[in-house]
A and B are shown apart, each in its own frame.
Chain A
């Protein structure tokens, strides 16, 4: 009978533990990297929004071309997509929640600015508020609606889309749900008009 080789067992156990430990640490740093990337993006959007806001308050007519607002909306959409991915990582829910709350506030800020520009400058930027849930059991159509909205945005970059994950605990989201009387997802509010249930690309384009 072969003698039990304890040093080999210890070596195998150490290698196994090392691999698991590396996995934990590596995964932690990967998510940290993503979060700092998001924070950076958020800061950039925040700074740009703040400057535009200030400019608008100083001299609203200077902003009437509103060119700067379109790339910010694109960045907001990108940020929203990435946030949804980060939110799946439950171990980092605190950081994700904080980022999501700031994100919602920035979206609303941008939305109000567009509203002002439409009023003061006689522009007709279309806005879409999109209420959704990333949870499949809660909203089986949201993945499809999200893909369609991304497609519409690719076709019409000047369309302003604001997506709101209704599970985010934020007073701003609560207020919006109340204001537009949203009780199911997906719900779209296109230029103030509410549509319950999924909309196809053509329907979205026709209504905006």
Chain B
């Protein structure tokens, strides 16, 4: 009974919020074009790299190929944490093209960014990951948003560079929907996240409100929240395309998401005061509460889905065992499944679930259309969505587990030891 009630409210809230987001997007179709650039701002692209010999050349070349007045574009590669491979050597080859190369002892993306931001010439700072490739027109599409003096950050749509494995294809769908969500959040002035792989920031913001928080494992999330907290805006150029090399396996992806979600939890705790209530408009009144509630609903729905499928499988096997091999044949199995059309039934819950799937398809269609995605998708994607719920829930269960009981995790150059367990351990045993 309680389970039914939770599913009922989960569906109701999801349907309401989903419809609201969709209506917001459709209401603003007229504002979809990117604003024109009146005066080209100077831009510094910073590429932090740590052991990136495989992707760095392609990234630098794609940055060099960006179509923008050359005197306004500065490209800086910053190797951080003492790479053991040929990252610096490869980057140095592009010095003749005007690329600047720095090498730092200390690790961490935040540290590297702060080091360069102090030395950068551009009014706009772009952070670009070393496994990321931009389309040449990306700055033309993004820079116009900075004509609005309140805009402090502009994001493009990230896409998966390769779609070789199932995991990568799912991520591409996810990224497109992420771009769609950011556009909706922009219209609501509630964009609380920017993609770490490629985002443009106004340098003035760093000068005025401090640099990257070097202790954060997801620095970009912290900055996005900080921009919101100071009353400034973020924007998303949905048709500006940037490609990134996405994790290829479940395992790689799991650890990437553990980092993202732990970063989300930490940033969320840090900014908790502005994230609920009506002080920050849609951000605190709708978008953040929805983001948090959706985590718990997804976990609950994933658990129910697993439980139901296991139960059905269990009874099917039990019945098979009871019937015995000697009696088992196709027609008996058919009787057992009892798939008559008469047993088809639906009610508000099924209908709402079906509507959510349809809404998801419409959202995906719009996301694909407006972010100019050319990938081919078959109906198999409907099955991916089903599995995605379970994968997504498992990341959150993992992240919540590490937040509560984790010891020390290392992500790139940053150490994370911010778990509840550690907090009390250090309090009780300060000598450790």
A-to-B contact residues, CB < 8 Å: 1-5, 8-9, 11-13, 15-16, 19-24, 26-27, 30-31, 34, 81-82, 85, 88-89, 136, 140-141, 143-144, 146-148, 150-151, 154, 198, 200-202
A19 touches B285 (CB 8 A): no
B351 touches A23 (CB 8 A): yes
Within the assembled complex, what's the spacing in Å between the Cα atoms of A15 and B345?
23
Tell me whether A30 and B345 are in contact in the complex, defined as CB-CB below 8 angstroms, given that A12-B20, A141-B322, A144-B319 are known contacts: yes
CB distance from B355 to the nearest CB of A (A): 5
Interface size class of B (residues with CB under 8 A): 35 or more
CB distance from A191 to the nearest CB of B (A): 21
B-to-A contact residues, CB < 8 Å: 12, 15-17, 19-20, 23-24, 27, 187-190, 231, 280-282, 285, 315, 318-319, 322-324, 326-327, 329, 331-333, 335-336, 338, 340, 342-343, 345-352, 355
Within the assembled complex, what's the spacing in Å between the Cα atoms of A171 and B364?
58
Of B17, B187, B336, B352, which contacts A19 at CB under 8 A? B352
Within the assembled complex, what's the spacing in Å between the Cα atoms of A20 and B342?
23
CB distance from B138 to the nearest CB of A (A): 26
B326 touches A16 (CB 8 A): no
Could you show 15 A-B contacts with beta carbons less than 8 Å apart? A1-B280, A3-B281, A5-B24, A8-B20, A12-B16, A15-B19, A23-B349, A23-B352, A27-B348, A88-B345, A144-B318, A151-B327, A200-B324, A201-B332, A202-B327
CB distance from B27 to the nearest CB of A (A): 7
Across-interface contacts of A85 in B (CB, < 8 A): 340, 342-343, 345
Tell me whether A151 and B19 are in contact in the complex, defined as CB-CB below 8 angstroms, given that A4-B281, A24-B348, A30-B346 are known contacts: no
Tell me whether A150 and B348 are in contact in the complex, defined as CB-CB below 8 angstroms, given that A13-B16, A16-B19, A143-B315 are known contacts: no
Within the assembled complex, what's the spacing in Å between the Cα atoms of A1 and B279?
10
Across-interface contacts of B318 in A (CB, < 8 A): 140, 144
B15 touches A143 (CB 8 A): no
Interface centre among A8, A11, A141, A151 (most CB of B within 10 A): A151
B331 touches A144 (CB 8 A): no
A20 touches B282 (CB 8 A): no
Across-interface contacts of B350 in A (CB, < 8 A): 23, 27
Of A5, A19, A202, which contacts B351 at CB under 8 A? A19
Within the assembled complex, what's the spacing in Å between the Cα atoms of A37 and B282?
50
A19 touches B15 (CB 8 A): yes
Within the assembled complex, what's the spacing in Å between the Cα atoms of A5 and B285?
12
B322 touches A1 (CB 8 A): no
Of B23, B188, B349, which contacts A11 at CB under 8 A? B23
Tell me whether A23 and B347 are in contact in the complex, defined as CB-CB below 8 angstroms, given that A1-B189, A8-B24, A85-B342 are known contacts: yes
Tell me whether A148 and B323 are in contact in the complex, defined as CB-CB below 8 angstroms, given that A1-B231, A8-B23 are known contacts: yes
CB distance from A163 to the nearest CB of B (A): 13
A2 touches B343 (CB 8 A): no
Residue of B nearest to A34 (CB): B342
